[in-house]
Every structure is written in C-alpha cells, then in structure tokens.
C-alpha cells in the first residue's frame, strides 16, 4: 500500500473506520486525534499526529508514546582521568572523547506523511496482529481461521477443552480423597502406638516395690 496522495490517505482512514476526536484546542495546535474501531484493555485505541513531527499512541499506557521510527546516532563526551589528592578527588580531561551510540526518533515533516505513517503502522500492529479485537467482528484471528478451514468449527476445540477440564477435576478430587484416607490412617497408627506405649508403662506398687504389668 503506497498511499502517496492526500486523497489516498484520507480514503484509507475512512475505509478503516477511524473517527476524528480532536478537540478545538488540538485542532488549533495542528494536532489530529483519531479513534480506531479496535478495543484493547477495555477501550478503543487512539492515535495522534502532532505538528512537531511526532505520531503517538494516545492511550494504553501512562503517557502517550511515540510511534515514529528510530535511528542511531553517535554522541561524544569528554574522557576524564582522576586522582585523589589531599582527600579530594580531582578529575582532569585527557584531551580525548568517548563515543556512545544513542537512539532517537525520526521526525516526520508534513501532516499527510504523518497520517500515512499512522495508517501503515496501525494496519500492521492493530488490524492484522490484533484482528480479533475489532469491534464489529468482521475479522478473526489467523489461527482460528486456519483451524475452522481445516476442522469445520472452533467449537470442537472448546468441547475438547471442557472434557479435559472435567477429567482434571475428577483426578484432583481422587487425589485429595487418597490424601485424606492416608492422613486418617496415619492418625490411627499414631493413636495405636500411643496406646501401646501407655500399656507398656503400666505398673503397680506392692510393699513399696514397683512391679511392671506384662
């Protein structure tokens, strides 16, 4: 999908069912906010284009996060050597620089270019990867579609899952019953040994002499 002209971009936005929800203040600032017909975490996904050159996902996180592509750039900073002198750590520049590779977002100039980027990004990450979340239900996940094409209905999977869960419940109850019987048996053994020990220690005193009862 090329979406080279403004008309093609706007037609794609209309086709995808986007709804503009920009406030009057946002419009004055050159900001455009769209609401997608896709639910995630209980609310519809919102994306925005900003005059500053950024595009953002507006909800689903604590703060809006950027959807611009990234690029590497080199950052140089001075290298220092240091030594302790009279209880004070003194740094001195070595005359060299260290290089650190950083990442930054690529600014997108032009509103049409930003909207184009948003459309392509949302198509890939929301309409395809999260197709089962589309509100009107016209889309289904790839794995579900492939299974139904091969097996006829996803209900077979659900039926099998219920049978497995039922069997697991029966096995769990059976094991719990075995543990209960084993615990009762152990208690009975302990009581028997305790009674036997008490009998073994029985004795009587005759003429100030203790005699053990056998």
- Would you say 214 and 202 are in contact if contact means Cβ atoms under 8 Å apart? no
Mean of per-residue pLDDT scores for the chain: 78
User: What is the model's pLDDT at position 69?
Assistant: 93
Per residue in 64-99, pLDDT tens? 889 999 999 999 989 988 888 888 888 888 889 999
Per residue in 11-54, pLDDT tens? 889 888 899 999 999 999 999 999 998 887 778 899 999 999 99
User: What is the model's pLDDT at position 213?
Assistant: 56
pTM, 2 dp: 0.55
Cα-Cα-Cα-Cα dihedral sign, residues 56, 48, 2, 109? negative
Alpha-carbon distance values, 69 to 27, 46, 82, 121 (Å): 24, 18, 40, 10
Identify the residue with better confidence: 5 or 68.
Answer: 68
pLDDT of 152 higher than 60: no
Q: What residue segments make up the domains of the chain, in order of their start?
A: 1-68+106-139, 70-105, 167-212
User: What is the model's pLDDT at position 210?
Assistant: 62
User: What is the model's pLDDT at position 187?
Assistant: 75
Residue 135 banded pLDDT, cuts 50, 70, 90: very low
Q: What are 73's strand-pairing partners?
A: 102
Q: How many residues are given for the chain?
A: 214
User: What is the model's pLDDT at position 191?
Assistant: 73
E strands within the chain? 19-20, 32-40, 43-49, 55-57, 65-66, 70-85, 88-105, 203-206, 209-212
């Amino acid at each position: 999908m090329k979406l080279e002209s403004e008309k093609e971009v706007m037609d794609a936005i209309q086709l995808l069912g986007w709804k503009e929800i920009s406030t009057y203040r946002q419009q004055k600032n050159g900001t455009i906010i769209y609401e997608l017909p896709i639910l995630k975490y209980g609310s519809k996904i919102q994306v925005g284009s900003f005059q500053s050159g950024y595009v953002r996902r507006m909800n689903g996180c604590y703060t809006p996060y950027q959807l611009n592509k990234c690029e590497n750039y080199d950052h140089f900073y001075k290298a220092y050597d240091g030594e302790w002198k009279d209880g004070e750590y003194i740094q001195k520049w070595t005359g060299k620089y260290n290089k650190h590779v950083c990442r930054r977002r690529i600014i997108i100039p032009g509103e049409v270019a930003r909207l184009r980027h948003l459309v392509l990004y949302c198509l890939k990450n929301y309409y395809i990867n999260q197709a089962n979340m589309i509100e009107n239900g016209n889309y289904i996940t790839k794995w579900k579609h492939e299974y139904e094409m091969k097996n006829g209905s996803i209900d077979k999977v659900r039926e099998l899952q219920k049978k497995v869960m039922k069997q697991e419940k029966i096995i769990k109850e059976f094991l719990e019953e075995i543990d209960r019987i084993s615990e009762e048996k152990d208690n009975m053994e302990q009581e028997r040994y305790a009674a036997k020990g008490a009998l073994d220690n029985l004795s009587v005193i005759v003429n100030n002499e203790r005699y053990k009862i056998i």
